[in-house]
Chain A
Amino acid sequence: MRLLSCSALACILALPFATHADENLFGYVKGAETLPKGSMELYEIVTKRSDKGAGEYDAWDMETELEYGVTDRFNISGSIKLMSIDTSGLIIDGYLPGAEQYGPKFAGGEFAMKYNFLSPAKDDFGLSGYMSFDYGTLDPHSGKDKTTRSLDVQLLAQKYFMEGQMIWVGNIAMENTYAVRDPLAVQPTANFDWPLEPEMEIEWKFGTGLSYRFMPNWYLGAEAIYETEFETEVGQERWSLFAGPSLHYGGPSFWATLTWFDQLRGGGEKYENQYPDENNPVPQADTDLHLVEKTKDEWRLKVGFNF
């Protein structure tokens, strides 16, 4: 019902607004274009993360974002985030205390800025800088209360081919996070580790995408992101390579992008499922994936309206 209501709201609000630059052809990687001065764009973004290879695991991230063109080159945006989760049958020491089900719940907000150095349509190659400050109130993996403060800095590249019929984008990102968990109300197992000291993490992301307009208004593409994260206690905590197709519709009233993101490979920390017996933990079966902080796949739906 929560996913249905969020998407319904997004689509019912399909008033006759114009579509502009900064239309997202991809679900995850970002383009380099910015909104023209004085324009605004409203985004509804819903992401479903599913399957950790044991038990049941579904999580939904919902974000409503408003972006504004301060100048033709400089945009700002603000967003509010919600989260839902439904997990059971999985206990991961230090990461996932056990069953949790709720939603949607306030998960934080974000403020971002984007500056366009080179226009992909005018300068033959597009380049923008992007920075965001994120404040989170929930741990995206377990759904437990956790305060996070993140600074994300990105370089966004974009190039048009075939007079704009094909678009390539590339991103390099670095995110620094300071996180503090709230204590657990109930200890799931006798020796369950749930650090309450502040954690510092550095994440690097390298993304790329290619999209092709196969008929008027419709684009089909593919995107991929390699992520790696380093954390104070364990060093390289995880790495993952996700990739998948993206289908985009851009029309006079709104645009929408649907992406399926599959984890092709992953590594770093692996879990031993302590459910139902912490004395007989079951090792992670999919040894070529990272499933502690990631899932096997994700679906993302973005809908945008300009005015």
Chain B
Amino acid sequence: MNNRDWAALCFIPATVLVAPVFAQDYLSVAQAQHALFPKADSFVDSTITLTSEQRDRIKALAGVRQRQEKPPVWKAMQGGKLQGWLLVDEVIGKHEFITYATAISPDGTVLGVEVMSYRETHGGQVRDAAWLAHFAGKHLSDPFKLDQDVPNISGATLSCRNITDGVKRLLALHKVVLAS
């Protein structure tokens, strides 16, 4: 390569340096807890360490693997009674990770989902209450298929697919580990 070719290629890393960073953190853990369990008076840290056998069973139920060995989990309590479980999880977006929280009732029903961090510039509709509402009331036996029981968002299909698969995986985690 001659000097002209190298000079042209050097523009690419220079542009990366000046490109704006678009990381967006919308909810902290505390905010997600209260948004999903507004009546809870306390949250008990119940972070678990999964065995490889548990992760295999989760994958068998959900169809996707459980990447995190120590998923953050909290018990939502009201007056000393268990209201449900709050799980914080990460899935892959087009370029970066998406952080979201899922509230699951003691009997394994999705109570709600909130997107805590969305770092893609397009596809921000995954944060809309109207889209997230499709997860409320779901059980592990539901299809969790885009354009079947969860609508797809054009241009953010991978994000929609991974969040949908993620919520199903968290229901599987609940069944394997928390329900007992």
Contact = CB atoms under 8 A, between A and B. Distances in A.
A binds B: yes
B147 interface: yes
Contacts of A1: 4
B147 A122 contact: yes
B7 interface: yes
A39 B4 contact: no
Nearest to B154: A36
A3 B4 contact: yes
B5 A48 contact: yes
A163 B162 contact: yes
A250 B20 contact: no
B165 interface: yes
A262 to B, nearest CB: 14
**Residue with the highest number of chain A CB atoms closer than 10 Å, among B5, B147, B155:** B155
A93 to B, nearest CB: 29
Given A3-B4, A252-B121, A299-B5, A37 B154 contact: yes
A20 interface: yes
12 contacts: A11-B11, A11-B12, A14-B19, A16-B121, A21-B155, A36-B155, A119-B157, A122-B147, A250-B94, A252-B121, A256-B12, A301-B9
A217 interface: yes
Contact of A8 (B8, B64, B165): B8
Contacts of A163: 64, 91-92, 162, 165
B16 interface: yes
B14 interface: yes
B97 interface: yes
Contact of B5 (A3, A165, A250): A3
Interface of A: 1-4, 6-8, 10-11, 14, 16, 18-21, 23, 35-37, 39, 46, 48, 72, 119, 121-122, 160, 162-165, 213, 216-217, 249-254, 256, 258, 299, 301, 303, 306
B34 interface: no
B96 interface: yes
A33 to B, nearest CB: 8
Contacts of B11: 7-8, 10-11
**Residue with the highest number of chain B CB atoms closer than 10 Å, among A18, A163, A256:** A163
Contacts of A119: 157
B81 interface: no
Contacts, number: 109
B96 to A, nearest CB: 4
A46 B12 CA distance: 13
A244 to B, nearest CB: 14
A252 B22 contact: yes
A72 B154 contact: yes
A122 B122 contact: no
Nearest to B15: A11
Contacts of A36: 154-155
Contacts of B95: 19, 213, 216-217, 250-251
B162 A164 contact: yes
A190 to B, nearest CB: 35
B96 A216 contact: yes
Contacts of B50: none
A6 B24 CA distance: 33
Nearest to A215: B96
B9 A254 contact: no
Contacts of B120: 19, 252
A121 B161 CA distance: 7
A72 B152 CA distance: 11
Nearest to B5: A3
- Return the 3 tightest CB-CB contacts between A and B, nearest first: A36-B155, A36-B154, A252-B22
A299 B120 CA distance: 29
B9 A251 contact: no
A249 B15 CA distance: 11
A20 B124 CA distance: 12
A217 B21 CA distance: 11
A121 B8 contact: no
Contacts of A11: 11-12, 14-15
**Residue with the highest number of chain B CB atoms closer than 10 Å, among A23, A164, A250:** A164
A249 B12 contact: yes
A21 B157 contact: yes
B146 interface: yes
A36 B119 CA distance: 19
Given A14-B18, A72-B154, 5 more contacts: A7-B9, A16-B121, A19-B120, A164-B94, A216-B95
